[in-house]
Amino acid sequence: MSPHKYLWLRRMNLVRRALTLGDPSGASVTVIATDHGFWELGQFAVAYRRLFGESPSVTLRQPAEFRAAAHGRSPFNLGFPLW
């Protein structure tokens, strides 16, 4: 994996974590994405859906019990073991 791909995946997972832990009434997908360096929001949304199987807004609007359960997950989930 190239360093560029690694950093991109890392930022995507950090965005997912922020969306999962964010308060749907106060957080914004746009603010969270741009805070993590994603400026092309259309491309970001397509890549996010491709990587995680749902849109960023769906992740943000998950019920509180899903957000609480997700809090224990690693923010660095690349989909394969790192060992």
Token digits of residue 50: 């491709």
Contact 15, 48 (CB under 8 A): yes
Averaged in consecutive runs of 10 residues, what is the pLDDT profile of the chain (83 residues)?
93 94 88 95 95 93 67 50 41
Q: Beta-carbon neighbour count of residue 78 at 10 Å? A: 14
Q: Write out the E strands in the chain.
A: none
pTM to 2 decimal places = 0.75
Tell me the C-alpha distance between 1 and 7, whole Å.
10
Q: Beta-carbon neighbour count of residue 18 at 10 Å? A: 20
Determine the pLDDT at residue 70: 57
